[in-house]
Amino acid sequence: ERKGMIGNIYSMGLALQALEASRDFYTPRDWDCAQAFAVVTNHTFELPMAIAQVLPALVGTSYLDAATLSCDVPMDLCPSLGTHRVPRGMMIPPGASQIPQSPQDITVHYSIINKLQGTPFHYNISVMVAGDSTLLEVLEEAEKKDPKNFSFKTEQTFWGPMVVSIHGLAASDNDRTYWQFLSSGKPLDQGVGTYKPHSGEHIQAIFSTY
What does the pLDDT look like over 75-131, one tens digit per residue?
Answer: 554 544 443 444 444 444 445 455 556 679 999 999 999 999 999 999 999 999 999
Q: Does the annotation flag 53 for ligand binding? A: yes
Confidence of residue 180 (pLDDT cuts 50, 70, 90): very high
Residue 101 lies in a domain: no
Same domain, yes or no, for 50 and 116? no
- Residue-range definition of the domain harbouring residue 181: 107-209
Residue 148 lies in a domain: yes
* pLDDT tens per residue across span 84-97: 444 444 444 445 45
Q: Does the annotation flag 8 for ligand binding? A: yes
Same domain, yes or no, for 35 and 128? no
Same domain, yes or no, for 35 and 124? no
Same domain, yes or no, for 50 and 140? no
Same domain, yes or no, for 174 and 115? yes
Question: Whose CA is closest to 133, among 190, 180, 189, 194?
Answer: 194
Give Cβ neighbours of residue 90 (< 8 Å, ≥ 6 apart).
Answer: 34, 37, 38, 41, 42
* pLDDT tens per residue across span 122-157: 999 999 999 999 999 999 999 999 999 999 999 998
Domain count within the chain: 2
Top pLDDT among 166 and 35 is at: 166
Residue 96 lies in a domain: no
